[in-house]
Structure 1
């Protein structure tokens, strides 16, 4: 039997990259899915692609930095599919900029999207899961564990460190409700996030230069992170909560 047969999953940042990949995988393993993102048209296209029947996916568009957006996503899943078993708290933003140049607007963008967004979406999900338990998986970051000179990201890293700390705190608070919470901390994963601050040409030139940065010798792909998320969301991980799993090709272990 499929691991997620009959389960209901909500995913933030489901319009591309890791979120899209994990949504497709959940559907392939029997789940019904509610996906969030800022762009409704993009979400509709993803929904058609990963579920041509139109019966297993619903979309809930909006900016996750606004707490009402996370609540709306959870409400959509519960009202359409009858409950919520898993939250993949994945939405994030990234644009390296030196500390001395970071503005208050930059800071707010990172903290509101990455930390506040995950915080209140997790709260909405936990309220929906309180009666029968569930699993929350967050996308954290290797940058919250190690600083990388080539990609200055003080505010981004601080926001993700908050995401990691939240995992430990919520693991303790929510254990009484049989709700598990964990995070994955990826290194460089080839997703469209890089196209938000580089041209297609720059992406093609720059991303391959990071292959060697990972001891395993290659950048991550969305499927690498999706596999870890699916495991943490599944009953196979029923005795794992409060952990941050490095999915980083060996970066945090050390250097060659």
Structure 2
């Protein structure tokens, strides 16, 4: 198992990509600490992944607050002895015309995505240094690379571009400490995030229409993204840092 005796923190770990990523790390032998706002959902996910309750911990809290990241680190160190991998996976997505964004709306994207990368990374890096190195993997977005006319999302894209910029900057700054920092940039991935602004009926109708958007012919799945995250966090990627990896079924290759 690739992550046996390793400890991993996954933010946004209650559903979708985060849940699948946490499950895959657990299956590969890791101890996992998951974070999200909804305590009930988070605890249910933790028990679903690990019914024993011994190797997956749920620590709820607002990731835009530094104290939440401090609590995550404290839980990981007290229960598992240290930290080896951080996955910054928080996000929100609601296509909105540029002129319709409110100040509170913009702030919510910056809180969830930019602060949700900055503060966890700040809290975790000292622990990674104690281990002699480690990995941070950020869930970015194709929308930070390529605008999509069908889904106007300027606030989301700007925040994700900030996550991409943090990826590259931290990769350089932390390389001397053997801490690798990378990101994945997915296109359309079928996760519950779409249910936050569409009904079940709308999701069932709209999502399949994006299959053809991807040259490979289908939308992505949470497992597609999780496997890429695990690769970047693993020793197989030991000479990879500062990369924003497109996970888009060929979309950006076609548009360049």
The answer to whether TM tops 0.5 is yes
Superposition CA RMSD, Å: 0.8
Contact 1:180 1:242 in 2 (8 A): yes
Distance 2:73 2:140 in 1: 21
Cα deviation code 1:189-238 (max 9, x no counterpart): 00000001111111111100110001101000000000100000000000
Could you tell me how far 1:110 is from its partner in structure 2?
0.5
Distance 1:208 1:70 in 2: 37
> 1:206 corresponds to which residue?
206
> 2:190 corresponds to which residue?
190
- Dislocated runs of 4+, deviation >4 Å: none
Q: Please say which of residues 110-119 and 10-19 is displaced more in the overlay.
A: 110-119
Distance 1:70 1:214 in 2: 36
Distance 2:191 2:77 in 1: 29
> 1:233 corresponds to which residue?
233
> 1:90 corresponds to which residue?
89
Matched, 1:249 2:246: no
Equivalences, count: 254
Distance 2:178 2:230 in 1: 18
> 1:6 corresponds to which residue?
5
Distance 1:20 1:142 in 2: 20
Cα deviation code 1:2-34 (max 9, x no counterpart): 100100000000000000001000110000000
> Helix, strand or coil: the match of 1:227?
helix
Could you tell me how far 1:71 is from its partner in structure 2?
1.9
> Helix, strand or coil: the match of 1:52?
coil
Cα deviation code 1:18-73 (max 9, x no counterpart): 00001000110000000000011111111111111111111110111112112211
> 1:127 corresponds to which residue?
126
Could you tell me how far 1:130 is from its partner in structure 2?
1.4
* TM, length-normalised to structure 2: 0.98
Matched, 1:103 2:69: no
Unaligned runs of 5+ in 1: none
Distance 1:138 1:38 in 2: 18
> 2:170 corresponds to which residue?
170
Distance 1:94 1:196 in 2: 8
Contact 1:67 1:117 in 2 (8 A): no
> 2:221 corresponds to which residue?
221
Distance 1:65 1:19 in 2: 17
Unaligned runs of 5+ in 2: none
> 1:23 corresponds to which residue?
22
Distance 1:59 1:242 in 2: 29
> 1:79 corresponds to which residue?
78
Could you tell me how far 1:180 is from its partner in structure 2?
0.5
